[in-house]
Amino acid sequence: MENYGRRKELRNKVHEIFGEGHNTEECFYKYAMVWMSRKCNSKCKYCYQDGDTVNNAWSYEKADAVTSLLLAEGYHVQPLINEWLPEFWDFLKIMKKCQWKEITTNGLVIIDRYKEFFPLLKENGITDIRHSLFPKGIHEKITGRNREKTLKAIRLSKEHGFRVVVNYVVTTETLPHIMEVCEELLELEIDEVQFMNLIYLGRAKDLQKQLLKTDDLRAFWGIWKTLNEDERFKNIEFDFQANFGPCPQGNHVSTKAAEKDHFCIAGKNSYGHFLYITPEDGIYPCFLLSEPQFKIGEVICKNNTYQLDYSNSQDWEKAVGSFSRKNCAATQFLMKTILSNQEE
């Protein structure tokens, strides 16, 4: 399968193929998300990547060796860095080697150093920059950063010819503001908005009340429909994370994949391999399933050579509960654990 350089496109292609009922001989994907550093200059409350908690980061040599090993095994590799601090600019060569086209940043590095940073991005084949933006009045509270700075970083990225994607984290607090932020993004000529469903597996207990419940998800899909039908937004591409569940509207590829029982692509399964590797060397079935009970392997070093060791692999699917690939494994696990605890 072609390397699209963006996770979303690989996932959509996989969903399209399985949704059309093709079988495993026609498509066997191998995909690894390799998280090489936790270091960050910020500490957002919602951080998916648990940024900055222990400041673990791989050396360039290790990151280069592990990604080369995965490429040699036929994986599409998505290298991931929490924040593109100057000490990691060398790692852009790894992005290029893996043909990965997008980076995510909180924008502070762009504001301070874009004159040096942007040419390096272009040299290394990066075409897309992802920024996270929250509604007015919420952005500061969640990210601890000035919202104007994010807007400035977005403008700079657009002015210098990058495709700009805005990550919009949907919580019970941000859900009612989606339309107003999208209208604001129209003026900034944003290329894409990706909706992310805040999902915590026990990491930030004080934020649990912000998790979307069934009614909120229904409301989200209503807004999704409005956005996709509104002519004003025709130049913005909208995308959503898998943990919103398959799109219930129209002929969306995720809906079709779920009908054929293959919506969740996590882990090593009969259709492909989807792996998530952390800076602490753990291998997991998905970036949303990185709790100890989901660990399926480890990056080890033997005789100065890095290897992927699956000898202590667990039957992670059992830890999800009654797991069905028609839905996101992480969401099913969340429903089983946190939401049931809340009701007690």
DSSP string, 194-218: EEEE---SSS-GGGGGGS--HHHHH
Q: Which of residues 124-143 bind ligand SF4 (CB under 6 A)?
A: none
User: Any contact of residue 286 with ligand SF4 (CB under 6 A)?
Assistant: yes
Cβ at position 283, least distance to ligand SF4 in Å:
14
Question: Of 103-111, 144-152, 211-219, 282-290, which segment contacts ligand SF4 by CB under 6 A?
Answer: 282-290
From candidates 46, 274, 284, 316, binder to ligand SF4 by CB under 6 A = 274
Query: Rounded to the nearest whole angstrom, what is the least distance from the CB of residue 267 to ligand SF4 in the complex?
Result: 8
79 with 34: CB under 8 angstroms?
A: yes
Q: Which is nearer to ligand SF4, 40 or 329 (CB)?
A: 329
Q: What is the DSSP string of 92-143?
A: HHHHHHTT--EEE--SHHHHHHHHHHHHHHHHTT--EEEEE---TTTHHHHH
If the CB atoms of residues 164 and 283 are measured against ligand SF4, the closer one turns out to be 283
Query: Given the complex with ligand SF4, which of 79 and 272 has the nearer CB atom?
Result: 272
Closest C-alpha among 322, 278, 310 to residue 51: 278
Q: x-or-dash pattern for ligand SF4, window 66-85, by CB under 6 A?
A: --------------------
Q: Which is nearer to ligand SF4, 51 or 246 (CB)?
A: 246
- Interface mask toward ligand SF4 for 232-261; x: CB under 6 A: ----------xx------------------
Tokens of 268: 């090593």
Q: Whole-number minimum distance, CB 64 to ligand SF4, in Å?
A: 26
Q: Is 178 in the site for ligand SF4 (CB under 6 A)?
A: no
What are residue 32's DSSP bridge partners? 77, 275
Among 196, 217, 288, 296, binds ligand SF4 (CB under 6 A): 288
Tokens standing for 128?
């897309």
**φ/ψ of residue 124, rounded to 5:** -100, 20
One character per residue 304-343, x = contact with ligand SF4 (rule: CB under 6 A)? ------------------------xxx-------------
CB of 243 to ligand SF4, least distance (A): 5
Rounded CA separation 80/64 (Å): 12
Q: If binding is defined by CB under 6 A, does position 289 make contact with ligand SF4?
A: yes
Return the residues of window 25-54 that contact ligand SF4 according to CB under 6 A: none
Measured CA to CA, the distance from residue 340 to residue 101 in angstroms comes to 40
The residue count for binding ligand SF4 (CB under 6 A) is 12
| Structure-block tokens of residue 182 | 């999208």
> For ligand SF4, which is the closer residue by CB, 109 or 289?
289
Q: Are 272 and 30 in contact (CB under 8 A)?
A: yes
Q: Which of 10, 142, 166, 264 binds ligand SF4 (CB under 6 A)?
A: 264
Cα–Cα distance measured from residue 272 to residue 265, given in angstroms and rounded to the nearest whole number: 8
Say if residues 19 and 11 touch (Cβ distance below 8 Å): no
Length of the chain: 344
**C-alpha–C-alpha distance, residues 21 and 253, integer Å:** 12
Contact footprint for ligand SF4 (CB under 6 A): 242-243, 264-266, 274, 286, 288-289, 328-330
